[in-house]
Amino acid sequence: LDHAQEKLKNSPHKLARDVQSYKVVADFLSSKACEEVTKKAGVHIPKCYDAQARPDHSDPMKSKFSFLFADYAPWNGWYQQWLLQEDEECKAALTTLAKIHAFFWNGSTFWDDADAAAELEASIWESGSYVQPKAQGFHQYKEVTKEWETKRLKFEKELSSFDYWDNLGERLQSVAKECGYQAHPFANEELTESYRKYRTFTHGDPKQANLFFRKKTSSDSKDDDDDEPELEVGVIDFQWSGFGLAATDVAHFLMAAIHADRLADGGEEAYLRYYYDELQRYLVEFGACRTEDDAVRHLSYDTFMEQYDTAFLDKCRLVIAYTWARFTEPVEKDDEVGCARTMNKTSYNKSIPNVVWLASRCDEILKSRGV
- Given this model, what pLDDT does residue 198 score? 98
State the pairing for strand pair 64-69/229-235: unpaired
Beta bridge partner(s), residue 44 = 234
The answer to whether 125 and 241 have CB atoms below 8 angstroms apart is yes
pLDDT more than 70, % of the chain: 93
- Given this model, what pLDDT does residue 218 score? 57
- Per-chain mean pLDDT for the chain: 92
Cα angle value 167/172/177 (rounded, 5°): 150
Cβ-count burial 134-169 (b if 16+ within 10 Å, e if not): bbbeeebbebbbebbeebbebbeeebeeeebeeebb
- Provide the 3-class DSSP secondary structure of residue 83: coil
Per-residue model confidence as pLDDT tens digits over 279-314: 999 999 999 999 999 999 999 999 999 999 999 999
Phi then psi for residue 367, to 5 deg, are -65, -35
- Give the residue-averaged pLDDT of 108-115: 98
Under the banding of pLDDT at 50, 70 and 90, the label for residue 184 is very high
- Given this model, what pLDDT does residue 57 score? 81
Per-residue model confidence as pLDDT tens digits over 339-370: 999 999 999 999 999 999 999 999 999 999 99
Angle between helices 246-257 and 267-285 (to 10 degrees): 140
Per-residue model confidence as pLDDT tens digits over 58-74: 888 888 889 999 999 99
- Given this model, what pLDDT does residue 225 score? 45
What does the alpha-carbon distance between residue 59 and residue 15 come to, in Å, rounded to a whole number? 10
- Given this model, what pLDDT does residue 18 score? 84
- Given this model, what pLDDT does residue 133 score? 85
The answer to whether 200 and 234 have CB atoms below 8 angstroms apart is no
- Look at the chain and count its residues: 371
DSSP line for 93-156: HHHHHHHHHHHTSTTSGGGG-HHHHHHHHHHSBSS--SSSHHHH-GGGGGTHHHHHHHHGGGGH
- Give the residue-averaged pLDDT of 167-191: 96
> What pTM was computed for the model?
0.94
| Burial group, residue 114, by CB count within 10 angstroms (0-12, 13-18, 19+) | exposed
What does the alpha-carbon distance between residue 82 and residue 77 come to, in Å, rounded to a whole number? 17
- Given this model, what pLDDT does residue 1 score? 62
First-to-last C-alpha distance (Å) of the chain: 43
- Give the residue-averaged pLDDT of 151-160: 97
